[in-house]
Structure 1
Amino acid sequence: MTTAPTAELPAAFAELRDAFLEVPERDRLQLLLEVSYELPPLPARYADAPELLERVQECQSPVYAFTEVDDAGVVAFHATAPEEAPTTRGFASILAQGLTGLTAQEVLDLPDDLPLMFGLTKSVSLLRLNGMAGMLTRAKRQVREQLAARTV
């Protein structure tokens, strides 16, 4: 597994990654569960219009997400995942905390193997890590689509 040096990751992701890597491997799943409680609620504009969110098919649980790029090029990532799926909620929370506030270009520059950088490969299944990768892939695609729509 290739792990980028912390300096190559935006600060929020570097801090989260370091938090996971600093605890013993056996405690990382517990940390992920704690992070799951930090998933921000959806803004009202999405809570009242769930059709605006995109289903993340790679997740076993029903996860819906949307990435916004504001006029200044700053990203906000919104997601919802059931409370009975704390691992998935934890991944969504990591992305919400890490992506929100980045520029569109910073999001696009994130390494595709970001989900593997948290030291969770022995704590959660590859299928669950693929779910986080699916969320990241969608976020990047949604950013690209919004940027392209502005140039038309």
Structure 2
Amino acid sequence: MNALQEIITDFQQMSRDEKLDTLMDYSENLPDLPERYHEARDKGQNRLHECQTPVHLWIEIHNEKIQMFVDVPRESPTVRGFVALLMEAFHDKDPQEALNCPNTLLNSLGLVQVLGMTRLNGLSWLVKRLKQEVTKACVEN
């Protein structure tokens, strides 16, 4: 079972409150954006404009493994938590794992019943953008 499937299985067994608490826990574990990306972030590069929260995403492929670098404000713990969940699932993993991520991930995690529509739309775009960036990084590599 891959990392994403393990996360999905865990979330499917959680109550609504446990899901929110788990996202909050994940948010605490999101690594800081490396210094080398700060200037680009400050210029608005790699921002996901579909998300109300300012999320900046960089994907690189090194040794045939995904390297994810993301910046999400601490004031947005739900988004930070979801991004950290994606990092746990895909960082340092084979790109195909991210490309195989279901577009229905939020439903599989049971977050559709927990989060508001605006937040769900932004997080759905985040998954789509992640897959696009992985595809782009694979082509460039």
TM score, norm. by length of structure 2: 0.86
2:58 to 40, 45, 66: 66
Q: How many residues align?
A: 140
Q: Deviations for 1:41-68, whole angstroms, at most 9, x for unmatched residues?
A: 1123223542585111221111111111
| Counterpart mapping for 1:56-95 below 5 A | 56-70=48-62, 72-95=63-86
Query: Structure 1 length normalisation: TM-score?
Result: 0.81
Residue 5 (structure 2) pairs with residue 26 (structure 1)? no
Runs of 4+, deviation exceeding 6 Å: none
- Look up the match of 1:110: 101
Q: Are 2:59 and 2:68, in contact at CA under 8 Å, matched by a contact in 1? A: yes
> Does structure 1 retain, via aligned residues, the 8 Å contact 2:23–2:78?
yes
Which amino acid letter does the alignment assign opposite residue 106 of structure 1? E
How much does 1:149 deviate? Answer: 2.7
Contact 2:11 2:110 in 1 (8 A): yes
Q: CA deviation at 1:148?
A: 2.2
- Single out whichever of 50-59 and 105-114 deviates more from structure 2: 50-59
Give the equivalent residue in structure 2 for 1:47. Answer: 38
Gaps in structure 1 of 5+ consecutive residues:
1-6
Alpha-carbon RMSD across the aligned residues, in angstroms, is 1.9
Contact 2:33 2:69 in 1 (8 A): yes
Q: 1:90 to 1:19 in 2, by over 3 A?
A: same
The sequence identity of aligned pairs, in percent, is: 30
1:38 maps to 2:29: yes
* Partner Cα separation in structure 2 for residue 53 and residue 105 of structure 1: 25
- Among 102, 124, 133, which residue is 1:133 paired with? 124
Structure 1 CA distance for aligned equivalents of residues 32 and 57 of structure 2: 12
Distance 2:19 2:8 in 1: 11
Structure 2: tracts of 5 or more residues without a match = none
